[in-house]
Amino acid sequence: MSKPTPLSGFPEYLPAQRMIEQNLIERIRSTFELYGFAPLETRAVEPMDQLLRKGETSKEVYVLRRLQEDPNAEKDDNALGLHFDLTVPFARFVLENSGKLQFPFRRYQIQKVWRGERPQEGRYREFLQADIDVVDRDNLPFHYDTEMPLVVGDALRSLPIPPATILVNNRKVCEGFYRGLGLEDPDEVLRTVDKLDKIGPVKVAELLVAKGASAAQAEACLQLAQISTSDASFVDRVRKLGVDNDLLTEGLEELARVVETANEHAPGLIRAELKIARGLDYYTGTVYETELQGYERYGSICSGGRYENLASSGNERFPGVGISIGVSRILGLLFGRDALTISRSVPTTVVVALPQEDLRVRCDQIARSLRSRRISTEVAPTAAKFGKQIRFAERRGIPYVWFPGADGEPDTIKDIRSGEQVEADAATWEPPAQDRTPLVQGV
């Protein structure tokens, strides 16, 4: 068999990288649970009619089918796809279980998703997301919109990554402003302005004029999109543009609440950025994107927003607000710069040296005693010379080697970094806190 080649867009991490990923996941999970979000995991597949209900991701959905057609299979088996985000399966889950859930329902979900887009740095076809959402029946109080950046801000600050800034806007601000200008299709204007970073203001203005806006209206849209503040001063700046609309007023009030609440919690965490819109159709109010300091050109690492109709059944409606951390996206960018390190490539804290093969049972007993107190331990693979066994530990960053005492002598343990070797009892010895588990650090 020839040597296999990597499959683009489907990352596979070495053990040290995988431990870094697990470390980050645990920190994110812990923060989510501190805010009372409950864990959820949904199935990997959804019916195609659910995945394609918005239409814009139809070219990115991976279809799931049998290699050989089974005439006895249920017809639904031929119309399944892998989920491309965690919002669609969450909406389905809420509908299916609405009679069993307590509302408002707060959930977090850390799970793989699949999207058939062109792989590039920080973007994959299989990737891990960490989502939180709050959903309610009929009406969801606005204070949950102000809570989302606080949760994610705490989660991101718990990670050994560069500082992050959450960019926030409100769809009502944009739509109300465009309607106040007299533009009849605010959604189309929003989609056009959303291309600002890709094609620049001149071409955006040209597109707006080509779609029916006057030059003055196009210029006003660009002026709105250029507003960026770290406090609520954006309200006065928008008002100075001279546009009046009730929906605009409502959006400005909501956006100001989000910014002011975040500034009380963590000054510098958030910035009002009136050009962001988010691409998905179901966002109706607050929208979030997040930049990582030093990696701004790669786009958002965390995004989400308010949706007034996450799911509906008959007369019953479930509005929600949510945000998603792109775990694989963050890791891909930082791994690409060697910007994350871990103190050792295995979980092991102690290697028990093996003086000779017929003493393996005794060495296993020592290891068992250490493991009983949650100290990660392994026994040396062979009864090689002690120098070779020490190098075995050293190559993998394992800090300690345990030497069983001979002829009634006490056991000793050696810190192979400092060379210090002391007597030790497997029933009571404890490593320093910083050595118990591998440490992850940003560079």
Binding site annotation covers 115? yes
Residue that is written with structure tokens 């050989």 in the block:
68
Residue that is written with structure tokens 């107190």 in the block:
373
Phi-psi region of 433 (alpha: psi -120 to 50; beta: other; left: phi over 0): alpha
CA pair distance 363, 357, nearest whole angstrom: 10
Of 165, 398, 198, the residue nearest 294 (C-alpha): 165
For residue 296, the surrounding DSSP H or E stretch is none
**How many CA atoms does the CB half-sphere of 406 hold within 13 Å?**
4
CB 398 within 8 A of CB 352: no
Q: How far is CA 119 from CA 112, 195, 252, 316, 344, in A?
A: 16, 20, 37, 39, 30
Binding site annotation covers 133? yes
CA pair distance 329, 159, nearest whole angstrom: 14
Q: And the tokens for 7? A: 């499959």
Binding site annotation covers 85? yes
Q: And the tokens for 327? A: 């775990």
- 10 Å Cβ neighbour count for 179? 18
Binding site annotation covers 194? no
CB 145 within 8 A of CB 285: yes
Q: And the tokens for 25? A: 């996941």
CA pair distance 263, 233, nearest whole angstrom: 13
Binding site annotation covers 297? no
- 10 Å Cβ neighbour count for 267? 10
CA pair distance 403, 424, nearest whole angstrom: 9
CB 217 within 8 A of CB 208: yes
Q: Which residues pair with 318 in a beta bridge?
A: 311
Binding site annotation covers 70? no
Q: Which residues are annotated as a binding site?
A: 85-87, 115, 129, 133, 278, 282-283
Q: Which residues are annotated as a binding site for L-histidine?
A: 85-87, 115, 129, 133, 278, 282-283
